[in-house]
Structure 1
Amino acid sequence: MIDPGFLDELDRFDTSLKRVSNAMLQGDQRSPDVGEGLTFSDHRRYTPGDDPRLIDWKAYARSEELFIKRFEAERNLTVHVLLDATASMAFGEGDLNKFDYGAKLGLGFCHLTAEDNNDFRFSLLGDMPDRIDTDASSRGEVLRLVDQLNETTPSGDGDITAALEEYANSIHSRSLVVVVSDLLFDPDDVAAGLTALARNDVVVAQVLTPEEIGPETTGDAIFEDPESDAVRRTYFGGTAARRYNDRLQSHLADLEERCQALAIDRELVDTGGDFFDTFADLWLGARLGDERRGRS
């Protein structure tokens, strides 16, 4: 289960993502003079965690409901989090669980994005993308997502190409896209999906457990495929262990080669590592991504 308390620890990170956006509605960061120099656009319902300075008290007097004023220049960046929710992501016990660890990475991006007064979107990837946020882009919305993700059970084998291509069609301005997955798909399928997103800034967090990266199992073992429920009993060690490691390293190298060709940042995430160290690496990579690409 995801404890929302981890969000408070993220407040020490610099929230600003200095990226280029070609969105039609460019904006300023939050300032003490809320709304100064901005054009009013519309309202949305207040969500706990929203800036109370944006509450329209005149609207409250008429309706006795809380609404937030939205301005055309209120936002200047959209961060899209795409979290793999296929069955293989359910692997790992406790804090090592890939889905929970990956969900926290995505939620961290959403939390800091909202703190910087920008928009986020959060979707689960299966055969198709499933958007689960409500377009609030606030701390309250992040907390709601924590509850929803705690009730989500990864399932199915998914279609990474179709899911990413479908989602890419929904992005209408240059954005930051954070893909969180174990990427246990054919590298060609992964590359095809990422190609559709490549007109945006893309960060890929490939999440694996310590057991997957370096299995310590030796002797007779039972292996279960979480996506097909197939079970195989075999001896693991020696030649079998070397063959597994060779195939894993080949798979990782293939993925890295394809991401480099697309100028996409890919980070291998070990769920046995310290979460905040891992998040710091991803967040810093997202902040500096444009600068690195500018030098290449």
Structure 2
Amino acid sequence: MAGTLHPNDLVDPAFFSRLDDIELRAQAVVEGFLHGLHRSPFVGFSVEFNSHREYVPGDDLRHVNWKLYARQQRLYVKEYDAETNMNVYIMLDISQSMECANTGQSKFQYGAALAAAIAHLALKQHDAVGITLFSDRVVSHLRPSAKPHQLQEILHVITSTPERSQSDVGRAFHQAAELAPHRGMIVLISDLFDDVSTIMEGIEHLQFKNHEVVLFHVLDRWERDLPLDGNVRFTDMETGEEITAQADGIREQYLQHVNDWLSELAQGCLNRGVQRVELTTDEPLDKALLDYFVKRAKAQ
């Protein structure tokens, strides 16, 4: 099958090393009080010590630092930062349109590397991460876990991709919402080749489950900008239909349609508070990710 990957194709230690200091932080409060890097507004539910403050009447005497009292003859209580373990649900589009590979690597290969990088980041900070593959429906699902070999299991799911079918993004999102019962972060990786209203309905279902949704919109540079001249044969990756046209003769109208579509997607995401990141497969993935997380950190 075209586009088949080996796990070693997804794991680039040099690439991952450049991402080691990035924290993948959720904007919403997430459930759980285990180890992680996501600060919760709740205090007192964690074993992670933060600081001392002076005792005031009504404080729980169990939190008094009696050793400090013995030295200073004043009562201080220990304060703790509650820390949360985030569930990260990665959803990767494996529909036939993701096989488009005009610039050397397919959208699927690019998205798979992105999924592996995000999984690496989440697991590095002790979050639970899982993977869902979808096309016209959910075709594979690995529930989130923070166990030591979870990255290898995620890579196995990606590289064992079943035969691709046509897109039905909205339907797949509705199914995926039922597979993500615990509040967390949904990371969507797709070319979004579907009706925009249907996509937004699926996203709303995910948000109804109290998830934060981040959308990585992956496109091929040729389909994004049509940087071609002369007679070109265009192939629909999902139906196999082919047409031939003069690229320079249709470029203006083509770009107008593409820009209208992207504007509709961008507005739909903005209206729903969804972060949308547009990527093309000719962009260095590490730079694209670094730029995104830097902007995300500044916004928090």
TM-score class normalised by the smaller sequence? 0.7 to 0.9
Q: Is the alpha carbon distance of 1:188 and 1:160 closer, same or farther for their aligned partners in structure 2, counting shifts above 3 Å?
A: same
Letter in 2 for 1:191: M
Structure 2 partner of 1:5: 12
2:225 equivalent in structure 1: 214
Deviates more, 1:91-100 or 1:2-11: 2-11
Q: 2:257 aligns with which of 247, 250, 265?
A: 247
Residue 281 of structure 1: how far off its partner (Å): 3.0
Corresponding residue for residue 51 of structure 2: none
Superposition RMSD on alpha carbons, in Å? Answer: 2.6
- Once the two structures are TM-superposed, the CA of residue 184 in structure 1 deviates from its matched residue by 1.6
- Structure 1, 133-142 or 91-100: larger mean CA deviation: 133-142
Residue 275, structure 1, aligned to residue 275, structure 2: no
Describe the SS at the equivalent of 1:280. helix
* Aligned-residue offset at 1:109: 1.2
Shift of 1:287: 5.0
Distance 1:197 1:134 in 2: 16
Ranges in structure 1 where 5+ consecutive residues have no aligned partner: 31-35, 39-72, 292-296
Alpha carbons 1:124, 1:132 under 8 Å: kept = yes
Match of 1:266 in 2: 276
For structure 2, the 5+ residue unaligned runs are: 38-45, 49-81
Alignment of 1:84-99 (within 5 A): 84-93=93-102, 95-99=104-108
Task: Quote the sequence identity (%).
Answer: 19
Change (3 A) 1:224 1:275: same
TM-score, length of structure 1 as denominator length: 0.75
Task: Specify which structure has the higher proportion of strand.
Answer: 2
* Aligned counterparts of 2:259 and 2:157: Cα–Cα separation in 1: 34
Structure 1 residue aligned with 2:205, among 192, 196, 206?
A: 196
User: Is contact 1:128–1:163 with CA below 8 Å preserved after alignment?
Assistant: yes
Contact 1:265-1:285 at 8 Å conserved across structures: no
Change over 3 Å in CA distance of 1:235–1:196 after alignment to 2: same
Rg larger in structure: 2
1:223 aligned to 229, 234, 239, which one? Answer: 234
- The question of whether the paired residues in 2 share the 8 Å contact of 1:205 and 1:266 is answered with yes
Q: Secondary structure at the match of 2:234?
A: strand
